[in-house]
Structure 1
Amino acid sequence: MTTPKRIIKETERLVAEKVPGISAVPHDDNVRYFDVKIDGPSQSPYEGGVFNLELFLPDDYPMTPPKIRFLTKIYHPNIDRLGRICLDVLKSNWSPALQIRTILLSIQALLGAPNPDDPLANDVAQKWKEDEKAAIETARQWTQQHAKA
């Protein structure tokens, strides 16, 4: 089975035009699987952390969004214990016009701006709403423990 031109072009662009704080490297044996690293944004509780994710492009990509999840443990209201991500562009707001780099930038932005009003991890969102300072401190601690470069 040949690799679609779209995937080849996106992969080439990801390699050629590096995105600050983000790397996405396709597996040698399957160009639909990527190892992703995202640096925690500055001025966020995730600053200083490097988060590992896995990204998979389904057979019907770009008609359906990529499958992405965090492998690094993270304390975030929009990311659950399994690493699944609650992000509109990965679900209802997906468009074939979006690209891998756009999605990764959206995930990096989500790290900088958690949204407890649209949670995937309800317990974390609850804590974020009740005591934001304590939740941010927990997020910092988890980043130190689990996401150190």
Structure 2
Amino acid sequence: SSVFLAFARKPRGKLHKGRRISISPSFGVLAMASKRILKELKDLQKDPPTSCSAGPVAEDMFHWQATIMGPPDSPYAGGVFLVTIHFPPDYPFKPPKVAFRTKVFHPNINSNGSICLDILKEQWSPALTISKVFVLKGF
């Protein structure tokens, strides 16, 4: 869904009919997150990572589902793994929450499916993208 703003001010800063419009300080951050997530989605569609697909659930750009194929010549070969991705409102300044919904035994994935990697926690950088995370860690 789109967000539309109406400005109540007339030229030279006068208030229109005495009304004030206040915009939450988080609005700009949320708009920035939406723009970044949309760019990542377009980049994924243009150049998808090998053995992986991802995109929004319904029309919620902040909630994605990914499908990862198990890498050949690995214990996960032939496996299809479902992953959920939740982007925070202040993305990309905070990392997304990424969790496996398919049960998988892996040293970096805990029993509830959360991925325990430093790049998804304290080592997160706004320069990273979901695509880069999957490529760098070879999921």
TM-score, normalised by the number of residues in structure 1: 0.68
Q: How far apart in 1 are the matches of 2:87 and 2:44?
A: 14
Residue number among 42, 55, 58 corresponding to 2:88 in the alignment: 58
Tell me the number of residue pairs that the alignment of Structure 1 and Structure 2 aligns: 109
Matched, 1:5 2:35: yes
Contact 2:34-2:61 within 8 A present in 1 as well: no
DSSP 3-state at the match of 2:39: helix
Residue number among 50, 68, 73 corresponding to 2:103 in the alignment: 73
1:106 CA drift (Å): 3.3
Q: Which residue of 2 aligns with 1:47?
A: 77
Q: Which runs of 4+ in 1 moved over 4 A?
A: none
**Structure with more contact order per residue of length (Cα contacts < 8 Å, sep ≥ 6):** 1
Deviations 1:64-105 (A, max 9, x none): 101100000011121111001111110121100001101122
**Which segments of 5 or more consecutive residues in structure 1 lack a partner in the other structure?**
112-149
- Identify, as 1 or 2, the structure richer in helix: 1
Which one-letter code corresponds to 2:78 in the other structure? G
1:47 CA drift (Å): 0.9
Task: Give me the identity figure in percent.
Answer: 42
Please say which structure displays the higher CA radius of gyration: 2
Q: How far apart in 1 are the matches of 2:63 and 2:86?
A: 5
